[in-house]
Structure 1
Amino acid sequence: MSIEMEAELQQEQLLRAREAQDSGRFDEAVKIYEQLLARVPDHREALQRLARLEVQLGHRRAARWYLERFVALEPENAAARHEFALSLAELNEFDKALAETQEADRLKPNSPEILNNIGCLLKRMGRPLDAIKYHEQAVTVTAENAVLSFNLGSALLAAGRLDDAVPILRVAATLDPNLAEAWAGLGEALLKRGNTRSSVGPLRRALELKPDDGESRYWLAGALQNCGQFEEALLCYLQAAERHPDAPDVWFGIGRCQLECKRFTEAVEAFQKCLKLEPDHSAAIHEQGKTLFKLGCVEQAMKALRLATKKGSKDIETLALQNMAVMIPGNPTDTNRTVLEVRQTWGRRLVSRPQGPHLRDPGTGPLRIGYVSSFFQGANWMKPVWALINRHDREQFQIELFSDASLDRIEHGYRPDPRDQFHDITGQSNEAVAARIAARGIDILVDLNGYSDMARLPLFALRPAPIIVAWFNMYATTGLDCFDYLIGDESVIPAKEESFYTERILRLPNSYLAFEVDHPVPDITPPPVVTTGQLTIGCLASQYKITDQVVATWADILRGSPKAQMLIRNSALGRTEHCEHLSQRFAAKGISRDRLILEGPAEHLQFLSTYNRIDFAVDSFPYSGGTTTMEALWQGVPVVTFNGDRWVSRTSVSLLKSAGLDEFVRSSVRDYTDFCIRLANSTDTPSKLEALRADIRQRLRASPVCDAAALARSMEHCYRQMVSEKLPKESR
């Protein structure tokens, strides 16, 4: 065949291949191109067109092979090298792709497309700092290009240069308001920079333009979560999970939102899914521990938190230790010694001052007592606090209240004295509050929060007063060197346990929690068994106090009292799934659902009226009642408890003994169980309980448990003792 005929045949094949390709008959086109290349292996147009067709068909490896042959034939062709590089990048051959793109840049300098793609490659290779240089060159060459600006902003974002990324990404979104990626990048950069509320709008816009963008939906969920919009954030996370069910961080976000929405069983499930995908996700382990605690699964919670301290970063370790310090007194398998060790370990992480100001000479005027609380507004919680404060001798003691609630929020309990000083410290930093306390010349600073407000506990490590005391809400050692004294009584802190406390222990002669009630409460009614014949055992403790051991013990009581039913009410049981979870725990111990009455939260007066449907109450353990026990007694319902192995197990013991109700304090969990069964089955119980209710409030008022004046005198004696012990040390 002559050269002319061969050329005509090649041209005819090329035309047929083009026509088939343009008509969408791709398989036919590929076949013709291959036939042509079989005849002429170096046919450049066939190589180039077939490579592009293979790219179109998704056949990346075939395209790479043809492009490589084409580049070998035209090594100085910048466009060919650039196209070859793009094919290599699609096959994740990044090093080769970068080399080819840089060679294309050498052959055709200042091409914005080539510069941009070098930057994109470097970013994909985890080299955003190197990428920025090329993207900046591309933007310089071609100004006001939305895509080029976006890629520069994206590289800056990846490099962590958030302050630089935000304005560039905003420019990209302005140049092309329909560029979803620019809005998404802007939202992400704002969120990471801490401009959470500002990030929501751009992220919403990104999703309007590109509803299937799972990453934008994930970032929007995070922004909404940080803004406290947990329900909407949860919806976003769930939608992201539909598109990315194997993304552990999505399930982690779902769990966090479920936890904030108090959907504890669903939160546990979400964290479990996260951990199935990423078993060492320490933040999920930590959050799962917090959630299990809310359900009363305290042993499992502590196990998770201990694991988080081993697997997590320094921040996660600190958070886990902090939550362990809060929870550990209520964990059945921990002891006084481990409570001390954990709280000391956490306390060593606080920034503390070696010593506070010197104590004033007490002869210069009344002792200045400062009380710090985040809960002064809680009338039901603050009964012992107001019983003390209202009875203080203002001639001898200057009272100053440092409150994380404004005075107008305190509706019940406090009877203001014009000589008192009230300080609203809401939103103020611990450093600012410490300076304020020091400026007031407070002699004795009393913490009423304990571990119930961890954000305020570091205040005391700053030692803003000469003497620092814990009372009312601690239930175990603080574990912190900054506390000089801890006030309890003989029931809660026997002398043999003082070695487990870092503070000097002072004891009041009666209960350390004498109380008064001056907020609205329901009238006492006869015990329900008198009118219905159905005996009801009850407990209104928080769900986190209802441990597996508590469930097992209450199940023993119900099995031994076949005609009794049990009423449990708390805020967690407002959700059906939480009731089901608790029911299943009882079912595992042989107690059917029909023997349980499970109820959720209510307005406080209505909540207290629940005691009108309870004949006698049973205490939780090892975390016994405090406020719950006071309220039960005031409503005429005796509480059966036992003398546990730590302070937190004996708060009810202290109250019942001081109230003269020693009969209901048992020696052990076995004695507690047997006593409840006898009480539930005895024919004398209805009349006995009715007689108790008839005059219980009068009996309480006449007993030490409601002797507020005696409480005040005893506390004032302790304060004077502290000063006398402190002064000689300072005079040496």
Structure 2
Amino acid sequence: MINSANVGGNIQQDVEAHWANAVSFFENGQIQETIFACQQVLELDSGHFEALLLAGKAARQLGQHRMAENILRAALNLRPDSVEGGRELGATLMSLKQYEQSLECYRQVLKLQPTSAQANLDVATTLFDMCWYKEALQYCGNAVELQPNLLVAHIRMGMIYYRLDDLHRSLECLYLAYKMAPEEPNVLNLMALAKIELGLHDEAVPMLEQVLAHQPGEAFAVAHLLEARNAMQERASVKEVLYNSGMVDEAEKLARDDLARDDSVENHNFLLKCYLASARHSAHDLFLGGREWARMHEQEDALPNPSEFKNKRDPNRRLRVGIVGDYFAGVIGAYTLIPFFKLYDRSRIELFCYNFGPGGEYVRSVVDRYRDISQMSGESFFKLVRDDVIDIMLDINGRIRTPNHFETLLRQPAPIQVNWYNLPCTVGVKAFNYAISDGYCIREGEETDYVEKVFRMPTSTICAWDMGEPPVVPPPPCLENGYVTFGCFADFFKIGEGVLEAWAALLKRVPDARLYLKSNNLRLRGERERVAAFFSARGIAPERLIMEGLSTFKQMKKCYEWMDIALDTFPYSSGSTTINALWQGIPVIAIEGADWRGRSTAAVLAGAQLDEFIARDVGDYVDKACALAADPARLAELRATLGKRMAASPQWDVKSFARNFESRLRMIWQDWLKATATGK
């Protein structure tokens, strides 16, 4: 078509001939020739819109994006309402990473074609590349609604949900795309990636293998197939496998056999781990086990006499406090330790951080003295602590968490060594002479199960959390699903047969309910099958179970959106798992245990004035869960308010915690001075 009415007959024929050549060249993939033919048209008719548009498209295909931009802008000057021109310019600007200008082009096209699925998808794609995922979701949803069979829209929707860490919804979208194109590599790769992030590596493998069957050597599939296969391998010993599966009593039998053959520290530590998680053992058993450990591995007679320490015996001076560990900058440390470090009173405490893990760049700026001991021998670490003249040493790793410097601490490099933070049970060795806990977990009269002298915090919290502002969370899923989803994201060593029996009873009482379990152990297909078989034997169908491995912390928080009610474990209750659930608006049902192991969650609930969710026993636990499941209005109210309630609880008052903790350190120091005064 000729746009200029002033072109003469011969010129018009030449224009038409050159234009025909341009179209033919483009259709045959002769892109450079296309541009040359368009130039010939434009030399004769500068207002030939189609030639400008085709030349711009051809230049973009050659990667000449700046040239394409100039040509397409000229075309749009002639026809500002051209949908095709707007789309081409938008795509060109995307290639130039000029996202805001690209978005402007695509929005203009959308104004011209508001009911176009492609126009909505173009806006969504640009917003996605700008990392505006929630905004992109709206337009991508429009595209799917307008054209339900638009494959690329379902793929994009899956990608958006993935970036929003909503892996379940991502998979829902990708499953729809898979039904349309079951051999599409992008769909298979993205589904596999989401499965890997959910800890379902074995389900990702066949998808990646399918990609490689059609595209051998495809880099994404090769890399993630290797990752998935590595994760599926179980490298643990038999006793560790049993322990991680919650079969703690069976693991304990093997641990005793191993200890009889080899009385190493490692074998003895594993036996004590079994004590921690076993329903057969009590806090007193842990005390006796710790003392037996000390008899076998600690030379208590060789501990230094208090008079050997050169620390200035002033009850009110600034204290030199050390803290040693390897996870200061991990998820839990970042929300508990780092906030405390930022708020402690530097006029009262000089804090020394001895770090043998990552995160030095975060910790260094919030403590008085930072020591990287990751490459340091035990002897060098001992000397460093003595040279720093530490008054009080806090060990956040403990004996069982490895790696650690526990063997060095057994020689008591500091006069006062405090058991705090990781496990509120006794260490069992005299090198640790004090413990800090709270009055809820360690009750009056229970000090007899401690080697350490116990000092209690005034609130039911052993540490305080700072996770920012309470999150905005969606309503409980039961309002949309029509059924309740119970869940537990705890480590599976805490989920023994007694816990599973209680959950089976609960699912029988609430016939439509689902159970959502997420744990590292469930990355293994065999473990998922074992758990499914347990419930199946009790009349619970497999489709009522949702089982996944670990995800990143961000993704895990998003996974809570699929849960209505969280279930605590027993006899070993959860700590950070409970905190995370409550922070996301999920009520937690827990049993108040017979000793500290079963009181962590109850302490958190009591601190937030949520005593209604603390059960007396297993029967009451099931009853409370059933009652809450039958009250969707209450679940909705809790979902909207729990975060704010937690933010107002003692667990979130870092400033008060810091003052109270400093006070306990001062009390410990003064108690030690009194106990070790000359003549005593």
Instruction: Confirm or deny: 8 A CA contact 2:516 2:563 kept in the other structure.
Output: yes
Determine the C-alpha separation between the residues in 2 that align with 1:667 and 1:299. Answer: 24
Counterpart of 2:258? Answer: 308
Alignment equivalent of 1:727, drawn from 673, 677, 680 = 673
**Residue 443, structure 1, aligned to residue 391, structure 2:** yes
Q: Which amino acid aligns with 1:445?
A: M
Give the C-alpha shift of residue 351 in structure 1: 4.8
**Aligned mates of 1:505, 1:539 — CA distance in 2:** 32
- Among 499, 513, 529, the residue aligned to 1:580: 529
1:718 aligns with 2:664: yes
CA contact (8 A) 2:318 2:350 kept: yes
8 Å contact from structure 2 (residues 461, 650) kept in 1? no
Partners of 2:504 and 2:538 within 8 A in 1 = yes
| Higher-RCO chain (CA-CA 8 Å, sequence separation at least 6) | 2
Code of the aligned partner of 1:723: W
1:722 maps to a residue whose letter is: I
Report whether the alignment pairs 1:703 with 2:649: yes
Unaligned runs of 5+ in 1: 1-258, 268-286
Structure 1 match to 2:378? 430
- Return the alpha-carbon distance in structure 2 between the equivalents of residues 260 and 548 of structure 1: 29
Whether contact under 8 Å (2:419, 2:436) holds in the other structure is yes
Q: Deviations over 1:145-191 (max 9, x none)?
A: xxxxxxxxxxxxxxxxxxxxxxxxxxxxxxxxxxxxxxxxxxxxxxx
Q: Is this contact kept in 2: 1:358–1:466, CA < 8 A?
A: no
Relative to the length of structure 1, the TM-score reads 0.58
The residue type paired with residue 694 of structure 1 is: A
Cα distance change, pair 496–651 in 1 and its aligned pair in 2 (3 A): same
Q: How far apart are 1:729 and its partner, in Å?
A: 3.2
Q: Any idea what SS the aligned residue of 1:573 has?
A: helix
Pick the aligned partner of 1:342 from 270, 282, 289.
289
Q: Is it true that 1:378 corresponds to 2:323 in the alignment?
A: no
Deviation at 1:558, TM superposition (A): 0.9
Per-residue deviation at 1:502?
0.9
Residue 468 of structure 1 is matched in structure 2 by 417
Which residue of 253, 266, 274 maps to 1:319? 266
Give the residue type in structure 1 aligned to 2:286: V
Residue by residue over 1:489-519, the C-alpha shift from the partner in whole angstroms, topping out at 9 and shown as x without a partner, is 1211112322111111111111233433347
Per-residue deviation, 1:590: 3.3
Distance in 2 between residues matched to 1:711 and 1:364, nearest whole Å = 20
| Aligned positions, number | 445
Instruction: Give the one of 435, 444, 447 matched to 1:498.
Output: 447
Give distance in 1, aligned partners of 2:279 and 2:612: 25
Superposition pairs of residues 156-305 of structure 1, within 5 angstroms: 263-264=233-234, 287-305=237-255
Q: How does 1:453-602 map to 2 (within 5 A)?
A: 453=402, 455-518=404-467, 523-602=472-551
Distance in 2 separating the partners of 1:374 and 1:363: 31
Which structure 2 residues correspond to residues 58-77 of structure 1 after superposition, within 5 A?
Answer: none
* Structure 1 residue 609, shift from structure 2 partner: 0.7
Paired letter, 1:543? F
Tell me the residue number matched to 1:133.
none
Q: Which amino acid aligns with 1:401?
A: C
Q: 1:658 to 1:314 in 2, by over 3 A?
A: closer
What is the CA–CA distance in structure 1 between the aligned matches of 2:599 and 2:287, rounded to whole Å?
17
Alpha-carbon distance in structure 2 between the residues aligned to 1:716 and 1:371: 13
1:544 is matched by which residue type in structure 2?
F
- Counterpart residue number, 1:191: none
Cα deviations by residue, 1:632-677 (Å, 9 ceiling, x for unpaired): 1111111110111221211111111112211111112221121112
**Larger displacement relative to structure 2 (373-382 or 475-484):** 373-382
Task: Give the C-alpha shift of residue 597 in structure 1.
Answer: 0.4
Deviation at 1:263, TM superposition (A): 4.3
Amino acid at match of 1:731: A
Q: Which residue identity does 2:674 align to in structure 1?
A: P
Post-superposition shift, 1:454? 5.7
Deviations 1:584-610 (A, max 9, x none): 232333322111000112222011111
Secondary structure of the corresponding residue to residue 522 of structure 2: helix
Q: RMSD between aligned alpha carbons?
A: 2.4
Q: Paired residue for 1:404?
A: 356
Tell me, in whole angstroms, the C-alpha distance in 1 between the residues paired with 2:676 and 2:230.
49
Residue identity matched to 1:426: S
Amino acid at match of 1:337: H
How far apart are the structure 2 equivalents of 1:379 and 1:653?
Answer: 22
* Structure 2 residue corresponding to 1:330, chosen from 251, 257, 277: 277
Aligned to 2:29: none
Q: Structure 1 340/729 Cα, relative in aligned 2: closer, same or farther at 3 Å?
A: closer
Show the counterpart of 1:136. Answer: none
- Superposition deviation, residue 383 in structure 1: 2.6
- Decide which of 643, 650, 655 is 2:604's aligned counterpart: 655
Partner AA of 2:281 in structure 1: D
- Checking the alignment, whether the CA contact within 8 Å between 1:377 and 1:409 is kept in structure 2 is no
CA distance in 2, matches of 1:456, 1:646: 28
CA distance in 2, matches of 1:301, 1:606: 31
The answer to whether residue 623 in structure 2 is matched with residue 671 in structure 1 is no
Give me the TM-score of the superposition, normalised by structure 2.
0.62
The one-letter code matched in structure 2 to 1:390 is K
Identity across aligned pairs (percent)? 29
Q: Is the 8 A contact 2:352 2:371 kept in 1?
A: yes
**1:610/1:467 CA distance change after superposition, 3 Å:** same
Cα distance in 1 between the residues matched to 2:486 and 2:474: 16
The alpha-carbon distance between structure 1 residues 363 and 332, as it changes in their structure 2 partners (threshold 3 A), is: closer
Q: Which moved more, 1:510-519 or 1:452-461?
A: 510-519
The whole-number CA distance in structure 2 between the counterparts of 1:556 and 1:500 is 34
Structure of greater Rg: 1
Per-residue CA shift, 1:386-420, capped at 9, x if unaligned?
Answer: 3432221011111111111244464xxx5934x61
